[in-house]
Amino acid sequence: MSSRKMLIAGNWKMNGLQKDGVELATAVAKAVNEVENPKCEFLVCPPMTLITSVVNAVEGSKVAVGSQDCHFNVKGAHTGDTSPVMIKDAGCEYAIVGHSERRTDYKESNELICKKSEAAYEAGLKAVICIGETEAERDAGKTVEVCKEQILGSVPANATAENTVIAYEPVWAIGTGKTPTPADVQEVHAEIRKVVAEKLGTEIASKMRILYGGSVKPSNAADFLPLEDVDGALIGGASLKVEDFMGIAKVCL
Ligand code: PGA
């Protein structure tokens, strides 16, 4: 058994008005509070407009809150962006960076993701750094190569097991209902840990959490969460319903 504490993280993406966000966060906090000595940690990442309400709704519970992105600057003339200092100030503990939807929609590069992660650390946030190959890259047998390049380029040199979580999310598995086999997931996670060890040392690599993400549901969570190098899940669609989110968490409770 590893000493790594599992992390069950919900990425709400661009979903939810105030009422929905407060209801969902309240329900998650209540469900988590009903678990005695949970063996995993919980995180919800609402859209920026809901952060304050969600922070208030989960106050006093074991549910942490994170943003879905952050800028790499502390403040200034960056219309539409949110600084990691503001995110921390709003009550967040984490920031997701480099999600494939941002890599695709905003052409975010590894270099930019690295700067965002460094800025998140500087603000006192933990970074959930996302990596993962596209379907074409997988078909070309380049999964490990792509993940390696993304880790080397987007994980800062001062990353630690405390300030960083890596989320492996094959792009073709996100929101599609398709998933890699458990054997594939374990193999890629083990390779990711090897690359982290090359970059940051074996001590940090052995403690760093690597989440799997991509169509995780209550019905398949037991295929992935018990794998040796899987330390939790980053959940999109299924994090929008408390039953599904907790149904996934149940596997590691
Ligand atoms: P999904 O999304 O669970 O809806 O596939 C995962 C993610 O993008 O983080």
State the pLDDT confidence band at 122, using cuts at 50, 70 and 90.
very high
Residue 21 and residue 240: Cα distance in Å, rounded?
9
**CA 239 / ligand 1 centre spacing (Å):** 9
- Could you tell me the two tokens for 109? 């590069």
Atom number of ligand 1 nearest to Cα 173: 5
Atom number of ligand 1 nearest to Cα 215: 5
What pLDDT sits at residue 228? 97
pLDDT in tens, 66-80: 999 999 999 999 999
- Please work out whether the CB of residue 234 comes within 6 Å of at least one atom of ligand 1: yes
Ligand 1, atom 6, lies closest to the CA of 236
What is the overall mean pLDDT for the chain? 97
pLDDT in tens, 13-42: 999 999 999 999 999 999 999 999 899 999
What pLDDT sits at residue 1? 43
DSSP structure string for 183-220: HHHHHHHHHHHHHHHHHH-HHHHHH-EEEEESS--TTT
pLDDT in tens, 154-198: 999 999 999 999 999 999 999 999 999 999 999 999 999 999 999
Query: How far is the first Cα of the chain from the last one, in angstroms, to the nearest whole number?
Result: 15
What pLDDT sits at residue 2? 67
What pLDDT sits at residue 49? 98
